[in-house]
Amino acid sequence: MYLVEHFYSIQGEGKYVGTPSLFFRFGGCNMKCEGFGCKEKAPDGVEVLGCDTVYAVNKEHFMKNWIPITKANELLNILSLYELPDAVDIVLTGGEPLIYANDVIFIEFLEALVANGHRITFETNASLDVDFEKYPVYKECVFALSVKLENSKEPLTKRVRGDVIYSLSTNSKDAFFKFSIDAQSINLGLEEEVESILLHSPKTVVYCMPIGGSKAEVEKNTEPLIEFCKEKGYNFSDRLHIRIWDENKGV
């Protein structure tokens, strides 16, 4: 189990945008999402293509900077490094945090957070299910279902798992869709793809956010996406952390 970084900031996306949150970014993912076109230079000098957090996805080139976790207390002790409000929101992101869903260290970490009154939000691609019966702590968590679209260039059968989407949205404390969308995809008829995904959980609220690893890219895709949201009745989600801090990490 690997931790890439932790930081205290505001939630920049989705339902709880603007909420003070402590982020734990875990290393590793079951997807590459090279279609998002973000590039990052690895410590070994190789330029890696992927999403805007490729440094938390690509194990081959970035793992030397990841922190191995061997005990739950190594994660829990991080809370004492910050001056935090009581029961501050905790956001678990990546990479894909649910690759550790069955890890005993991870479960112990989650149970301690819930016992102390924290709201936990998973930022997940919604392709990996969790065992809600074996690990009831997941029933107390919120899931931001960032299902990947065709623009990610991941195979349909890998990125859209209807059974998983239904399971996460119906068994958890709360869930919402969070799609990453660019202007070009809107012009290519993306709405049909989004609507087909929503059929797996039709009552779940939808947020759409502009693709971009930089402030310039986010701004380029913002206005077309707002028009798309107005037409379809979806919620527009800004990406405040990128708009404010641009390409800086740990914010």
d(CA 146, CA 176): 9
pLDDT computed for residue 250 by the predictor: 67
pLDDT computed for residue 251 by the predictor: 65
pLDDT computed for residue 93 by the predictor: 97
Q: Is the peptide bond before 95 cis (omega within 30 degrees of 0)?
A: yes
Domain regions of the chain by residue span: 2-245
User: Per-residue DSSP letters for 140-167?
Assistant: G-EEEE----GGGT--HHHH--HHHHHH
Place of tokens 């149970």: 111
Cα angle 69, 88, 25 (rounded to 5 degrees) comes to 35
pLDDT computed for residue 27 by the predictor: 98
pLDDT computed for residue 180 by the predictor: 87
Please report, in tens digits, the pLDDT of each residue of the chain (251 residues total).
999 999 999 999 999 999 999 999 999 999 999 988 888 999 999 999 998 899 999 999 999 999 999 999 999 999 999 999 999 999 999 999 999 999 999 999 999 999 999 999 999 999 999 999 999 999 999 999 999 988 899 999 999 999 999 999 999 999 999 998 888 888 777 889 999 999 999 999 999 999 887 899 899 999 999 999 999 999 999 988 888 888 766 66
pLDDT computed for residue 189 by the predictor: 76
**What architecture (CATH level 2) is domain 2-245?**
Alpha-Beta Barrel (3.20)
d(CA 160, CA 138): 21
pLDDT computed for residue 52 by the predictor: 84
